[in-house]
Structure 1
């Protein structure tokens, strides 16, 4: 399956209303004169405008007349209003997209939890160095860049008919698209199943874009994050929760609040974390690492896998209760070999998009090209087809040349009696070829195949156990 979004460059910046961009104007709010001076001197030469305020009234007056991108605010202020309350007030009254970095000199974990529940992602404890302050501002700039891209994508999706984002005319694709339209506005969890490269993330994006949810779309590849880090990535952590946790940070659930969290390769998630994810889905609350209080969250969760999760449950590698919880709606994407009528549509689409990106002329697909494209089984599905098209554009050779290389190899295996026609044999051949090209480097091969290194290692282990391949070192 391939659902494609139009080139973002089609949306002109001048036509887009205000949305988060770079950090240029900063408001510093602290009742300590020395702290205000330190922050102002640190930032004055690096940003277009830095203003300081000693209390809430001064901050209100400045925010009323100036559009600030970022506020650095002490959590505890003299008077009845805290820095947290003032930040929310300024967003509501003057600037909805104001980023905030909270600073505090008190070891009060409840202040820190309240800050984490805010849309800010960082809390700095006093005293701190200039380098620490600049580092958290850099993270704020990155958040604004991502928010800008998401804003443009949402704007683009609103302006363009949904049908233009679909490539293919097969009956199975149309059925899936009708299902996407039906379930997109619902809050239910969705499990997207399909082989690698069938377009699972594109379907997840389409579900979010058509959902009407105003929060962010946040994707995460569960197979690309180590088991000891993934809990903190999902739920965030408080300062000091573990070695190296110098500041509190929000997790991906926080960033997806009001939007969609896409958990790709959910089958790679460690069993211990599966239990915590199940609790979040049931209770709609999560607890940051090192925290004692739970934080409510309103994020729709969409998951995807290329594994047979039912078999994983029987093997004890996936929790049965979590499987039933995420499998409320089941979307199975067909492999490209089962919808060969869409190959020509996809190939022409990739040729047009990639030739524009690469700045090269768009070549014509010959009858021979199309014949070879439709004869090949595409074990890597749409992603492999895209890579073949891109390679042909980069090297200036016919598309069919690269398809023939794989087709001939499969025919040779069949002539020697090996089961090249089976999916497992094709998959094995494809992975071993990628490893050969990468000189045995599993990370490089995985990147070329569009899968995680863990997936490559798992397949090699399976084949090594049954004696079908020698395990690369």
Structure 2
């Protein structure tokens, strides 16, 4: 008989009209589940299922009023989010076939051996674990990542980042990754998870891409009917990250009300779905990232000081690309090979002079800008030097590396477009970074477009 080696996090609802059987099953499954509820009738079971999420339903076939199979068949397809094991004392092949056709995960005969029951339960829990991992893989496939090989480079700054990442990865401590946009914060977060030996999934969330009113549901899930449009229940990202790592990118964009709820989850290690009445335990390591100065955000009243202390146990600062120019040739060759395969085009024969020019450039958009530039070069089949160099006569001898004879309007336009590119064209995030309204940003873009 197998025994779980990790703390239980799943939930089960036992439905049987015999009180003795309910007590026996509750005791037998105590080591497998963090939450166990029981019901003697299908009406009581349905009331519990409407309020709470259950990973597994353990249901007797013959119950007062109607069959457990009838109950399961009556559920809408979207509500069948729980595995179900039917139990019966009547050896009826037709009933067994009907139960399996109704979507039963397993079917066991009473009286059964404890080992038989636990094996059936463990199979269901393993299927759910695999299903959650598949969900995370599909989510990652739908997103575009700069690369997944980790942070590349041999400069002292990158070696320092790798050393501290390897040291803190096996610990459960919260880590905050800071640095300018485009420096590779998610890559470091993935390395922290990969080296942590945690068995759960790595689940990323960009806080700047979630509407404020949907934040709680996105993180904690919701039950059916919790709000308008919640036609079925849904698990949140904390559940999918159970046993693994939840990466909250752009944490400064999280609304204050949500910050308070996140703080409580960190302190209690329990979540409650929106509309639910019972909490469920979770084992999630939280890694955050931001390009903002959070101490300044705290002083401005936009970020909770107590949450900052919880999240900022250790900070890993990522260097800007201009701080490690010796890594640029390595990155150029890496991106060239990667993008050539993806685009189906031959890689460019980079010359030493080309690489020297790229090393001298400041790369305000960091590694993300460099990758976009390499892709543009491959598409054009040449090095567009006008991007790296100003028009003839320009001088780039100022601290911010722009021509001295640029007008203020030209400088503003250049900076705005650089910030917009650093945020992958996301105007809302770019506007927040620039400290202007989205309407102001749109107005300037329209005006500059009309000037062309």
Q: Is 1:90 aligned to 2:101, yes or no?
A: no
- Conserved? CA contact 1:91–1:98, under 8 Å: no
Q: Is 1:415 aligned to 2:393, yes or no?
A: no
Shift of residue 252, structure 1, vs aligned partner = 0.5
Shift of residue 250, structure 1, vs aligned partner = 0.8
Cα root mean square deviation, aligned: 4.5
Please give the per-residue CA displacement for 1:183-206, whole angstroms capped at 9, x wherever unaligned: 000000000000000000000000
Q: Find the counterpart in structure 2 of residue 186 from structure 1.
A: 171
Q: Find the counterpart in structure 1 of residue 352 from structure 2.
A: 367
Give the structure-2-normalised TM-score: 0.67
Give the distance between the partners of 2:175 and 2:89, measured in 1 at CA.
47
- List runs of 5+ in structure 2 lacking aligned partners: 1-58, 62-66, 78-83, 94-99, 142-147, 447-452
Q: Find the counterpart in structure 2 of residue 144 from structure 1.
A: 134
- Conserved? CA contact 1:190–1:301, under 8 Å: yes
Give the distance between the partners of 1:407 and 1:223, measured in 2 at CA.
40
Please give the per-residue CA displacement for 1:413-463, whole angstroms capped at 9, x wherever unaligned: 52326589xxxx9796243368xxxxxxxxxx56x7436432212245539
Please give the per-residue CA displacement for 1:26-49, whole angstroms capped at 9, x wherever unaligned: xxx974666788899x9xxxxxxx
Q: Find the counterpart in structure 1 of residue 424 from structure 2.
A: 450
Secondary structure in 2 aligned to 1:185? coil
Secondary structure in 1 aligned to 2:177? strand
Give the structure-1-normalised TM-score: 0.64
In the superposition, relative to structure 1, how do residues 433 and 284 fare at CA in structure 2: closer, same or farther (>3 Å)?
Answer: closer
Q: Find the counterpart in structure 2 of residue 125 from structure 1.
A: none
- List runs of 5+ in structure 1 lacking aligned partners: 1-28, 43-51, 62-67, 100-118, 121-139, 152-161, 435-444
In the superposition, relative to structure 1, how do residues 271 and 167 fare at CA in structure 2: closer, same or farther (>3 Å)?
Answer: same
Q: Find the counterpart in structure 2 of residue 321 from structure 1.
A: 306
Give the distance between the partners of 1:91 and 1:407, measured in 2 at CA.
73
- Conserved? CA contact 2:178–2:318, under 8 Å: yes
Please give the per-residue CA displacement for 1:139-158, whole angstroms capped at 9, x wherever unaligned: x7x9636448989xxxxxxx
- Conserved? CA contact 2:431–2:438, under 8 Å: no
In the superposition, relative to structure 1, how do residues 37 and 169 fare at CA in structure 2: closer, same or farther (>3 Å)?
Answer: closer
Alignment of 1:303-314 (within 5 A): 303-314=288-299
Secondary structure in 2 aligned to 1:257? coil
Alignment of 1:106-145 (within 5 A): 144=134
Secondary structure in 1 aligned to 2:287? strand
Alignment of 1:73-84 (within 5 A): 73=104
Give the distance between the partners of 1:358 and 1:240, measured in 2 at CA.
46
Q: Is 1:255 aligned to 2:250, yes or no?
A: no
Give the distance between the partners of 2:435 and 2:264, measured in 1 at CA.
32
Please give the per-residue CA displacement for 1:88-139, whole angstroms capped at 9, x wherever unaligned: 85352x466424xxxxxxxxxxxxxxxxxxx69xxxxxxxxxxxxxxxxxxx
Please give the per-residue CA displacement for 1:255-285, whole angstroms capped at 9, x wherever unaligned: 1010000000000000011011111111111
- How many residue pairs align between the two structures? 358
Shift of residue 71, structure 1, vs aligned partner = 8.9
